Amino acid sequence: MYRNAEQREFARQLRNNMTDAERRLWRVLRRQQLKGFKFRRQAAIENYIVDFVCFSNKLVIELDGGQHNEASAIEYDRVRTQWLASRGFRVLRFWNHDVLKRLDGIVDVIWKALTKVASAPISPPSPTLPAEGRESE
């Protein structure tokens, strides 16, 4: 899945240096604790490395820090999300501080996205989401 050794090493570094928010969410997602849905962390999807992905349901979860408020990062995230969507992935984005303060609500949003994908064909994202998360378009 990794395109080259450099990408593999970068993903390994990201896994070894997870943010507090990533570690907290990973404790919920790992070992299929979310009713059997398997997630991988810092996984490559062609040229991109995503924070978390459930390949069976084509669901990507990204955790964003303050740097994602900068204009260049906003544009990069938009292009990246469009590219992932063109390959059939849905992308959920959450702020790091929300993961640290409202994990239960975030897990609920993830669960609803997983069960929606599991029970129905992939459909366009809903225009409204609970305050805990936002689905990228």
* Three-class secondary structure assignment of 123-136: CCCCCCCCCCCEEC
Percent of the chain residues topping a pLDDT of 70 = 69
Looking at residue 128, its pLDDT comes to 35
Q: In this structure, what token pair is assigned to residue 129?
A: 């989401």
Look at the chain and report how many structural domains it folds into.
Answer: 1
Q: Read off the pTM.
A: 0.74
> Is 77 in a helix, a strand, or coil?
helix
Q: Tell me the residue range of the domain where 48 lies.
A: 5-135
Q: Which residues in 1-137 belong to E strands, given as ranges?
A: 40-45, 48-54, 59-64, 90-95, 134-135
- At 76-120, the pLDDT tens digits run 889 999 999 999 999 999 999 999 999 999 999 999 999 885 554
Where residue 77 sits, what CATH number does that domain have? Answer: 3.40.960.10
Residue type, 89: F
Looking at residue 64, its pLDDT comes to 87
- pLDDT of residue 58 exceeding 70, the answer is yes
In this structure, what are the phi and psi dihedrals at residue 27, rounded to the nearest 5 degrees? -60, -30
Four-residue CA torsion sign, 101, 30, 43, 10: positive
